[in-house]
Structure 1
Amino acid sequence: MLASRGHNFTVTELADSTRTAKDAANAIGCTESQIAKSLIFKNSNTEKAVLIIASGSNQVSVKKLEAAIGYVDLSSLFLQQFDWYLYKVEPA
């Protein structure tokens, strides 16, 4: 879809660990603040996933999230349902 609009990118799967924003920044040679980290929570009211995207150098406040959407499930069982990958995307 992006290519059809003139945005050409090359996606490369990284061999190095990218578990944390710091690991990801080290793997691609940038600062933590240049990493967009994604966090997935479950809204316990709706049972739906909530995706939060934040700068790698910032922390997400669960209290603020719960104030905005209601109680969130932080159980590892829910989070284990997702596969985690970081890909390096560069303009072609």
Structure 2
Amino acid sequence: MSVSIFNGAVADANAANAMDFSKANAEKTYNATFDKAQAGQSAAVFTAVAATAMGAWAVYKWLQLPKSPAQAAVVGAEPRWWVAPSPAGVVFGGGL
């Protein structure tokens, strides 16, 4: 998702750089398009950071679950230290 946002911002920047400045209001259009490109790049970085943070949080919470439902009632049960399907895969796959 963040890659597609970034690619859109790069396309906006390329469109701004390819403008014909002999036309009326070319500078105003260039500035608006370039500002849109910079905003898109910022959104891409924010999305990547947010997805990574949510994925890390999901992994942390998943590792804190007990190994079995029977151990859920035991205080101080050993946390889950093995790899298993978790919400983090969805967050990382969909966010980045």
TM-score (norm 2): 0.25
User: Counting strand residues as a fraction of each chain, which structure ranks higher?
Assistant: 1
The higher radius of gyration belongs to 2
User: Counting helix residues as a fraction of each chain, which structure ranks higher?
Assistant: 2
